[in-house]
């Protein structure tokens, strides 16, 4: 995947005109300059997040193992799975290697790993500890053979400003990206409420981090308003994507065809990963969502 040069002054406006004119280093592929003929060729891959089976993978319930999740994904025909870290029974190298080998034997790449770290920390000691924690998850990601780790911005602490929150996140993400870059791993900050509730804030964080190994794990469901416009702003910097069929706000249905048009137009190259969180049993609901995503990838992708 190509990584274009950064421009420090790219975020002068929050418009797509500004976003579309830059060569920002996002592994999704849409970050190539407009002069590149590949930029308009989307590559939308069917994925599934382990979190879709939270009710079964939760370590308290232990109704499903990660090995069983991998095999279930194979049965559904997905192209890659996002391995939610807190379902791993350990981070022992032998266990991680066994998961990697099982996935390989079944022709299933890991599209990435998700860690629960939150970077909006007011305490300098906690920020230092979070950097160390992310580095540890980078090592786990490497052992699993994945090239993407998603991390969370977190909530702005009470009494703090958004500007302070941005500074704290950048202070953590910058050295974490430097470490991840040594292993060829990209960090995707997830659009997941809190400090990442607005696209313009996510892009400002990425501007300051200023690394080709930083991007946005674009969860399309969590923006507070103008969701489609916010998605469109983030797509050029998307490193991985989470898909549901309802927005958080009022459980409003998502026009997934419209979403796929946005990704296709931007030339996104990467995983469109189902992340089911509804009330229906995941055993029946996840295959339905995966089926929707599969049809849309076939409709709008070059593969």
**Number of domains, the chain:** 1
Confirm whether 4 is domain-assigned.
no
Residue 5 within a domain = no
Cα 260 from Cα 270, distance rounded (Å): 12
- If DSSP codes are grouped into helix, strand and coil, which group holds residue 279? coil
CATH number, domain of 173, equals: 3.20.20.150
- Reported as a pLDDT band with limits 50, 70 and 90, residue 71 is very high
Cα angle vertex 209, ends 221, 198, to 5°? Answer: 25
Residue 61 lies in a domain: yes
252 within domain boundaries? yes
Residue-averaged pLDDT of the chain: 88
**Is the per-residue pLDDT at 2 higher than 60?**
no
**Which of 279, 222, 220, 289 has the alpha carbon at shortest distance from 249?**
222
Task: Specify the pLDDT at position 1.
Answer: 38
pLDDT for 38 equals: 53
Whether 9 is in a domain gets the answer no
Domain hosting residue 124, numbered range: 16-300
Q: List pLDDT tens digits, range 268-283.
A: 999 999 999 989 999 9
**Contact at 8 Å (CB) between 131 and 118?**
no
For residue 138, tell me if it sits in a domain. Answer: yes
The answer to whether position 216 is within a domain reads yes
In the chain, % of residues over pLDDT 90: 79
Q: Is residue 6 part of a domain?
A: no
d(C-alpha 15, C-alpha 104), whole Å: 42
148-152 vs 43-49, strand pairing mode: unpaired
Instruction: Give this prediction's pTM.
Output: 0.86
19, pLDDT greater than 90 = no
């Amino acid at each position: 995947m190509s990584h274009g040069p950064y421009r420090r002054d790219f975020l002068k406006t929050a418009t797509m005109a500004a976003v579309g004119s830059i060569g920002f280093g996002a592994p999704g592929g849409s970050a190539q300059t407009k002069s590149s003929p590949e930029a308009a060729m989307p590559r939308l891959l069917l994925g599934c997040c382990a979190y879709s089976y939270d009710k079964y993978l939760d370590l308290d319930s232990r109704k499903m193992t990660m090995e069983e999740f991998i095999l279930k994904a194979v049965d559904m025909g997905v192209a890659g799975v996002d391995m939610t870290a807190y379902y791993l029974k350990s981070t022992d190298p032998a266990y991680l290697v066994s998961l990697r080998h099982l996935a390989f034997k079944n022709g299933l790449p890991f599209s990435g790993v998700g860690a629960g770290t939150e970077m909006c920390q007011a305490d300098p000691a906690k920020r230092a500890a979070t950097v160390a924690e992310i580095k540890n998850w980078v090592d786990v990601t490497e052992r699993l053979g994945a090239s993407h780790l998603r991390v969370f911005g977190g909530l702005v602490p009470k009494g703090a400003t958004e500007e302070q929150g941005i500074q704290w996140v950048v202070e953590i993400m910058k050295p974490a990206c430097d470490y991840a870059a040594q292993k060829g791993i990209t960090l995707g900050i997830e659009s997941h409420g809190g400090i990442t509730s607005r696209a313009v804030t996510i892009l400002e964080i990425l501007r300051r981090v200023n690394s080709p190994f930083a991007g946005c794990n674009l969860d399309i469901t969590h923006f507070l308003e103008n969701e489609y416009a916010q998605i469109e702003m983030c797509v050029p910097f998307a490193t991985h994507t989470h898909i549901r069929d309802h927005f958080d706000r009022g459980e409003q249905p998502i026009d997934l065809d419209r979403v796929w048009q946005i990704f296709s137009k931007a030339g996104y190259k990467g995983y469109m990963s189902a992340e089911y969180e509804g009330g229906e049993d995941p055993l029946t609901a996840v295959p339905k969502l995966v089926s929707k995503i599969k049809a849309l990838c076939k409709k709008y992708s070059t593969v």
